[in-house]
Amino acid sequence: MERQAGAAKRAGTRTVKTSQLRVGDIVGEHGMRVRIEAVNEYPGTNSDLPVYSCPGTVLNVAEVREAGIVPMYFLRCDVHPGGACWHIQGNDLATWTVEA
């Protein structure tokens, strides 16, 4: 998976904590390329760490469909009718691979 600790850093990418995600970042997750559309912060419930939900648009839907890793019905959304959406979410214990 893209966010596994210790994963080899790909050329042209950087690893960031969830709080470091920004609108416009392209995050690799489960074979998807997800462009972040918003960064929403919420108070954490089980720790002092805030949690983040970052809705985004899947940019490589055809590849995702072909790979079959993510069921297509998981990607449906009301925000982008006909498009594919995914939420990047977690606290700062999670890290993400972002295209440079």
Asked if 18 contacts 52 with a C-beta cutoff of 8 angstroms, the reply is yes
How buried is 21 (Cβ within 10 angstroms: 0-12 exposed, 13-18 middle, 19+ buried)? buried
Residue 10's Cα: distance from chain center in Å? Answer: 16
- E strand or H helix at 41, and its extent? strand 40-42
Asked whether residue 8 is domain-assigned, the answer is: no
Which pLDDT does position 63 carry in this prediction? Answer: 93
Give CA–CA dist 25/96, Å, rounded. 11
Q: Tell me how far apart the 2 most distant CA atoms of the chain are, in Å.
A: 40
**Domain range for residue 52?**
18-99
Asked whether residue 2 is domain-assigned, the answer is: no
Asked whether residue 5 is domain-assigned, the answer is: no
Contacts of 39 (CB under 8 A, 6+ apart): 21, 22, 23, 52, 54
Which pLDDT does position 9 carry in this prediction? Answer: 52
* Residue carrying structure tokens 């108070």: 43
CATH number of the structural domain spanning residue 30 = 2.30.30
- The number of folded domains in the chain is 1
pLDDT, one tens digit per residue, over 66-95 is 999 898 888 877 666 667 889 999 999 999
pTM of the entire structure?
A: 0.82
Q: Beta partners for 57?
A: 35, 85
pLDDT, one tens digit per residue, over 10-68 is 569 999 999 999 999 999 999 999 999 999 999 987 778 899 999 999 999 999 989 99
Asked whether residue 42 is domain-assigned, the answer is: yes
Asked whether residue 68 is domain-assigned, the answer is: yes
